[in-house]
Amino acid sequence: MPGIRCGMNGNYQTPAAILQASFLIFARMEKKKEIVMSGIRPTGFLHLGNYFGALMNYVKMQEEYECYFMVADWHSLTTHPDTKELRNSVFRVLAENIAAGINPDKACLYLQSNVPEIAELYLLLNMLAYKGELEKTSTFKEKVRLQPENVNAGLLTYPVLQAADILIHKAKYVPVGKDQQQHLEMARNFAQRFNHRYGEIFPEPEAFNFGEALLKVPSLDGAGKMSKSENQFATLYLSDDDELIRKKVMKAKTDNGPASPDSPKPDYIENLFLLMNLVSEPSAINKFEDDYNRCTIRYGDMKKQLAEDMIRFISPIREKAESICNDKKYLTEVMEKGAAKARKSAKATIELVRQAMSLNYF
């Protein structure tokens, strides 16, 4: 077979060898992708705020980064000791994430409790975390207020476990919102302390900045953002059925309409437009903008349109999530594949950690 003259020594290479060599180069390029890690707490249902505020960006990131998306079931035990309920939530949250676009063949989607190396790193990092700083953490103080009868040590060391989640993959970027900035700062501190004491192992993880891509999803009652815990009737969940979506949207606060042309919009009306921007066609949005500016707007019609567009957006995700959730065989495959990949990365790190700490006795 005629070969092609190439390679360092100018030998003749067969096409198969060239193919193999390019595959190896490609594989190495693949490896170079920057590492992204984030955790999803399996409590509560996913809502539109989770989707546009986080999930949609995860879906984009899985194309360009080596992504580790973890369901934080151990973390949930700090607030939700009922493991029967937790189990169902874990399956549902996996299904919802996949239905919303996380592709388990691209991103590594796994459960925290399937990666015991995280627990080992957590134990070691605990010796570098001080009681004082843990007690000062805002989320800890809030939990003490919310569940004074169950201020367990897991709650106190929650940020240490989160640091272990991130550092076990040597992640560079952590796509999280403002409420997690303090935890991320602590992860950086623990990484620094480790590196300083035992040798440079961990990169310092940073928040991933989405910039413009971060969309605000206001709640339907005109007060704040859609959230898991506050007013559930003002939040649209990815699991809401069509009728419930209609009911929630139709109940959104409005008024008699503007009194003069081109008036500024009150917050709760502005919010309806913001929601429309997420799911409606530009032509529909423009129509209602014009109606508003000409004082001919009929909020009933606007909400009907918004409800139907929300249904068009949410119902395919809901139906997909339901069918995935019922397919335990598929979910098991996803969990196994995710665990294997996550453990491979975690094992490599924990080996380095043991070496750095001289804990490798034989």
- Distance in angstroms (rounded) separating the CA atoms of residues 38 and 183: 12
- Distance in angstroms (rounded) separating the CA atoms of residues 113 and 110: 9
The CB-side HSE value for 292 (13 A sphere, CA atoms) comes to: 20
Contact (CB, 8 A) for 227 and 289:
no
In this structure, how many other beta carbons lie within 10 angstroms of the beta carbon of residue 325?
20
- Distance in angstroms (rounded) separating the CA atoms of residues 178 and 171: 19
Of 100-108, 162-170, 208-216, 330-338, the segment contacting ligand TRP by CB under 6 A is: 162-170
Of 4-12, 25-33, 38-46, 219-227, the segment contacting ligand TRP by CB under 6 A is: 38-46
Site size with ligand TRP, rule: CB under 6 A: 13
Closest approach of Cβ 163 to ligand TRP, in Å?
8
Which pair of structure tokens corresponds to residue 264? 């500024």
Closest approach of Cβ 166 to ligand TRP, in Å?
5
Amino acid, single-letter form, for residue 105: D
- Would residue 228 show up in a list of annotated catalytic residues for this protein? yes
Of the candidates 35, 36, 39, 341, which one interacts with ligand TRP according to CB under 6 A?
39
Nearer to ligand TRP, 45 or 273 (CB): 45
Nearer to ligand TRP, 73 or 309 (CB): 73
**Residue in 216, 225, 287, 304 annotated catalytic:** 225
Closest approach of Cβ 324 to ligand TRP, in Å?
22
Q: Which residues pair with 38 in a beta bridge?
A: 69
What residues have CB less than 8 Å from 48, skipping those under 6 apart?
Answer: 217, 226, 235, 236, 237, 238, 278, 314
Nearer to ligand TRP, 69 or 313 (CB): 69
The beta strands (E) that lie in the chain are given as 4-5, 12-13, 35-40, 66-71, 108-111, 173-174, 206-207
Q: Are strands 12-13 and 35-40 parallel, antiparallel or unpaired?
A: unpaired
Closest approach of Cβ 293 to ligand TRP, in Å?
40
Nearer to ligand TRP, 58 or 91 (CB): 58
- Distance in angstroms (rounded) separating the CA atoms of residues 98 and 96: 5
Which pair of structure tokens corresponds to residue 271? 């919010």
What residues have CB less than 8 Å from 288, skipping those under 6 apart?
Answer: 273, 276, 297, 302, 305
String of contacts with ligand TRP for each residue 180-199, x by CB under 6 A: x--x----------------
Nearer to ligand TRP, 158 or 292 (CB): 158
Of 37-45, 127-135, 259-267, 284-292, the segment contacting ligand TRP by CB under 6 A is: 37-45
- Would residue 143 show up in a list of annotated catalytic residues for this protein? yes
Residues 52-111 that bind ligand TRP (CB under 6 A): 72, 75
Of 127-135, 159-167, 308-316, 350-358, the segment contacting ligand TRP by CB under 6 A is: 159-167
Helix axis angle, 138-146 to 181-198, nearest 10°: 120
Task: For tokens 């919010």, name the residue.
Answer: 271
Nearer to ligand TRP, 85 or 142 (CB): 142
Of 4-12, 34-42, 224-232, 252-260, the segment contacting ligand TRP by CB under 6 A is: 34-42
**Residue in 60, 172, 228, 320 annotated catalytic:** 228
Give the residue numbers marked as catalytic.
Answer: 143, 225, 228
Residues that bind ligand TRP (CB under 6 A): 37-39, 41, 72, 75, 162, 165-166, 174, 176, 180, 183
